[in-house]
Amino acid sequence: MKLKLREEGGYAVIELSGEVDLSCSPEARKEILACLKANKNLLIDLSAVTYIDSSGVASLVEGYQTARKQNQKFGLVGVSKAVLNVLQLARLDKVFPIHDSAAECITANK
């Protein structure tokens, strides 16, 4: 997994790529929670993720729950087909705000 952090439209955007599994999901979790602790609205760009396991999904769920408790915005953008299949299996595609792009999400939440 590779992780890149950028800012766009008042949001922190974490771009994940590759495989998000048990070996690297703690790093993703740490970055997600750090952004939320800094009171930033957060988007997770999953367009380049080829695989995600339950530990990766758990990191996303924890981030979403933390954001809700703190009245921050949280969304998933560019969700790859591989990730969407996993989210649909767990019915989390109905829970997470999912958008095609960061720009679309930012516009929708103005």
Alpha helices, DSSP H, located in 1-110: 25-37, 54-69, 81-89, 102-108
Q: Mind listing the domains of the chain with CATH numbers?
A: 2-108 (3.30.750.24)
Give me the pLDDT at residue 108, please.
85
Of 42, 88, 30, the residue nearest 68 (C-alpha): 42
Pairing of β 11-20 and β 2-8: antiparallel
Question: What are the tens digits of pLDDT across the range 7-33?
Answer: 999 999 999 999 999 999 999 999 999
Question: What are the tens digits of pLDDT across the range 41-88?
Answer: 999 999 999 999 999 999 999 999 999 999 999 999 999 999 999 999
pTM over 0.75: yes
| Amino acid at residue number 41 | N
Write out the two tokens for 84: 């969407």
Q: Tell me phi and psi for residue 71, to 5 degrees.
A: 55, 40
